[in-house]
Amino acid sequence: MKKYTIKDIALLAGVSKGTVDRVIHKRGKVSEKALKKVNKILDEIDYQPNILARSLKNNKIYSIHVILPDPEIDPYWIPCKLGIEEAFSEYKSLGVSIETFLFDPTNNQSFSEINDKVLQLNPDAVLIAPLFFNEAIKAFNAYKETEILVTTINNRVGDDNVNNFVGQDLVQSGKIAARLLEMITPDNSEIIIAHLDEFFLNASFMQQKEKGFRDYFDTNTNNSYKLKTCHSIESNQYKTLIDVIKTTKDISAIFVTTSKVYKVAEILSNFPELKIKVIGYDLLDKNIELLKNRQIDFLIHQNPRQQIYLGLSQLAEYFIFDKPVSKEKLLPIDIINSENFSSYLNQ
């Protein structure tokens, strides 16, 4: 395995390295004859430019700004910090700077303000968790005009101005929940779909999960579960959900579309006579505790840390090594139970 350099090619083709360089980069100013000679050699050998040398020469500092919900307000985002740190420590010596900006996930205006601020700072790329649909679209357009690369994570916001998405297929994740519940609950029973603390007024991800969940039962089985959707919020002490639990007969399971599934498990501990299966999202400490105690049966892992890390590393390697950024990177949808959660915690 010989590593060819531009110098080697120049020697083989009987031209100078400048000419080889011009051929490779199609910079023109090369005679027909020289072009042929160089291309002949390039066809014969497998030339791999040394990306170390290339990026050493490049020697720029690239700035990536990360726009995330404040993890103090929504703990789902806590693991992101680790993902960012990991990416930073890996790429900082290669000239990548990463800065984080937090917004209030209960407040769409806060999201817009942060985006305006970042726009002013004019980074090379932004990585955004686009919780608010309309505001996100607006921001994307602004970034496009300033030629700032945009990567989104967590939830898809279909828009051509986004160069890259890293996350999961949320419809499919609803189907996974449905299949799991189908296996552990009796036919003909009642299943509640609970949307908790839906402060994201124009957020669609809960709806996508519900869609997948319902689709599964509509198309995949001849079972006849009765599905009921329930919206419930903390400021109301989840009264709506508690009422549904009290008044509905024969509930076999509750599918919680967010990481707030621990709230449901806590509520259900007040009804020990009911044997209700619980499935929800994400490896929050509280959720894991309840999973261990069998008060939650399954969790689906959305892996925010991995999402951030992959998004950042794709951007970094695009800048440094010129690697192409995939338009869409769909992460696996992990099923978590009391026995395998630990294997995901230190990834």
Residues making contact with DNA (CB under 7 A): 3, 5-7, 15-19, 21-22, 24-25, 28-34, 49-50, 53-54, 56-59
DSSP labels, 249-275:
SSEEEEEESSTTHHHHHHHHTT-TT--
Write down the H helix ranges in 45-169. 51-58, 80-91, 108-121, 133-145
Residue 161 binds which one of a copy of itself, DNA, none, with CB within 5 to 8 A depending on kind? Answer: none
Residue 97 binds which one of DNA, a copy of itself, none, with CB within 5 to 8 A depending on kind? Answer: a copy of itself
Q: Which is nearer to DNA, 145 or 322 (CB)?
A: 322
**Using CB under 8 A, which residues numbered 179 to 218 contact a copy of itself?**
179-180, 183-184, 216
320/94 Cα distance (integer angstroms): 7
**Site for a copy of itself contains 237 (CB under 8 A):** no
183/131 Cα distance (integer angstroms): 32
**Using CB under 8 A, which residues numbered 295 to 314 contact a copy of itself?**
297
Q: For 236, which DSSP code?
A: G
Q: Which is nearer to DNA, 36 or 294 (CB)?
A: 36
288/276 Cα distance (integer angstroms): 18
Total residue length of the chain: 347
Task: Considering only the stretches 10-18, 30-38, 152-160, 336-344, report the one whose residues sit in contact with a copy of itself under the rule CB under 8 A.
Answer: 336-344
The CA-atom distances, in angstroms, between 82 and each of 86, 240, 269, 297 are 6, 36, 33, 27
From the list 288, 293, 302, the residue with the least C-alpha distance to 268 is 293
Binding mask 61-90 for a copy of itself (x = CB under 8 A): x-----------------------------
Binding residues for a copy of itself, rule: CB under 8 A, are 1, 3, 48-53, 55-56, 61, 92-95, 97, 168-169, 172, 175-176, 178-180, 183-184, 216, 297, 330-340, 342-344, 346-347
